[in-house]
Amino acid sequence: MYSTIAQIAGAVINIVLDPVLIYGLFGISALGVAGAAYATILGQIASALLGLIFHLTQNKEITNGLKYMKPSPRIIKAIYSIGLPAIIAQALMSVMTYGMNIILGSISESAVTAYGLYYKVQQFILFAAFGLRDAITPIVSFNHGMRSKRRVKEGVKYGMLYTILIMIIGLAAIELLAVPFSSLFGLSGTTQDICISAMRIISLSFIFAGMNIAYQGIFQALDSGLESLIISVLRQFLFVLPVAWVFSLFARESPDLIWTVWLTFIIAERGEYAPTHNRFSYAFVGRNAQGGSVDDYIYQKQRNIIRDIAEKGNCVIVGRCADYILQDRTDVLNVFIHGNEEEKCQRIMKLYEKSRKEALAMMKDTDKKRSINYAYHTEQKWGDTRNYALCMNSSILGYETCMELIKKSME
């Protein structure tokens, strides 16, 4: 509880000081972006001081003294063997934020300010996921040490379930209260519009972010710090910054396209899959008063991006119903490449280190979701040869031959 109080206090101080230092309220000089940095530093200092005070006054079972600070190589090694990946993963959040600020700075200062303020609101939601992760880790770790598979599975199951539930509540709160939240910072005009857009779009990734945070704790509990690190690198670096940079190129030319940068956080998660592999999956998703769902919203934004990219010049678009979206253009070459089941199965087994049974299940599940997603948005059958200029079996022709055929068809 005391740890949570210290963290929340730091976040509250940060949020309160942001508008004061950025815009110069209460007689303080306006510092702009630098003000946001100072607010963050002061919030962190306050949080650290509170944590130290709580430790000295509340942890009575721990004897404090200089003699207990003598380093033990054995203990340090044990700590860092599991903790180092977690440290790097935590640092990646700052790297991602820094990278996003650079990318957004190339668009406008308003975009940087809006994202920074959104990030503060987001932290309140993610604090809950971090708290649950810290609860999941010792529970799973203890039962893992006791070699109780049943309890380990239950810890993972309920930990993940509660994390997802809290993220859904956080998502609903941000979607409903985006305007009031932005008003708390005294925003107006373009900056407020950008902030509201960021809240309503990026928050759609909360569920995935919560799962990622929970998985980090689970992997650490199971002595798999490296796997935890890989997830963080993919989610907070490789799948975010390069994609955001590409979308920022469009936003620089047309500021109205700033929303494409926010889509980075959710497009990387799912863009050409149905919610489940059930053919009725779209019938039961949540919808707004106009009958639109989150999936419809993502598809429409994705459709606009694909058409914008096609207008810019030559490009290669893989999947995402692009053949249907660009069907009115005469300068498009639609290609469908498939392969024999056995070869695809072997490839999945090698790439993802899966058993044959797991690879077959993964392959069928993915193809089913793609098929349902394609049928829902296009009212056509996925893989229908009539929709493509070229249909090739890579298991028979080989990758090199397929590439040569595509090149010749484009000449």
Q: What does the pLDDT look like over 125-164, one tens digit per residue?
A: 887 888 888 788 888 888 887 778 788 888 888 888 888 8
Over 80: is that where the pLDDT of 349 sits?
yes
Question: Which pair of structure tokens corresponds to residue 405?
Answer: 């055929």
30-77 pLDDT tens trace: 877 788 888 888 888 998 998 888 888 887 777 777 777 777 888 787
Q: Grade residue 363 by pLDDT with cuts at 50, 70 and 90.
A: confident
Please report the pLDDT score of residue 392 as a whole number.
92
Over 50: is that where the pLDDT of 260 sits?
yes
Over 80: is that where the pLDDT of 226 sits?
no
Please report the pLDDT score of residue 45 as a whole number.
92
Average pLDDT over residues 212-219: 80
Least confident of 24-33, 186-195, 273-282: 273-282
In the chain, the percentage of residues whose pLDDT exceeds 70 is 88
Please report the pLDDT score of residue 279 as a whole number.
46
User: What are the structural domain ranges in the chain?
Assistant: 1-65, 78-269
Question: Which pair of structure tokens corresponds to residue 105?
Answer: 């700075």
Q: Grade residue 104 by pLDDT with cuts at 50, 70 and 90.
A: confident
Q: Grade residue 268 by pLDDT with cuts at 50, 70 and 90.
A: low
Which pairs from 27-36 meet CB under 8 Å and 24+ separation? Answer: 32/109, 33/109, 33/112, 33/113, 33/116, 36/113, 36/116
Q: How many whole angstroms separate alpha carbon 278 and alpha carbon 411?
A: 41
Best mean pLDDT range from 42-46, 138-142, 223-227, 298-302: 42-46
Over 80: is that where the pLDDT of 14 sits?
yes
Average pLDDT over residues 74-95: 75
Output the average pLDDT for the chain: 80
Average pLDDT over residues 294-306: 76
Q: Grade residue 292 by pLDDT with cuts at 50, 70 and 90.
A: low
pTM of the model: 0.50
Please report the pLDDT score of residue 280 as a whole number.
43
384 contact partners, CB below 8 Å, separation of at least 6: none
**Greater pLDDT, 233 or 105:** 105
262 contact partners, CB below 8 Å, separation of at least 6: 197, 198, 201, 202
Cβ neighbours, 10 Å, residue 338 = 13
**Greater pLDDT, 199 or 79:** 199
Average pLDDT over residues 321-340: 90
Cβ neighbours, 10 Å, residue 247 = 23
Residue 245 phi/psi, 5-degree rounding, is: -65, -45
Q: Grade residue 294 by pLDDT with cuts at 50, 70 and 90.
A: low
Question: Which pair of structure tokens corresponds to residue 51?
Answer: 């944590």
**Greater pLDDT, 222 or 235:** 222
Over 50: is that where the pLDDT of 286 sits?
no
Question: Which pair of structure tokens corresponds to residue 132?
Answer: 């649950």
Q: How many whole angstroms separate alpha carbon 138 and alpha carbon 252?
A: 47
Residue pair 140/218 in contact by the 8 Å Cβ criterion:
yes
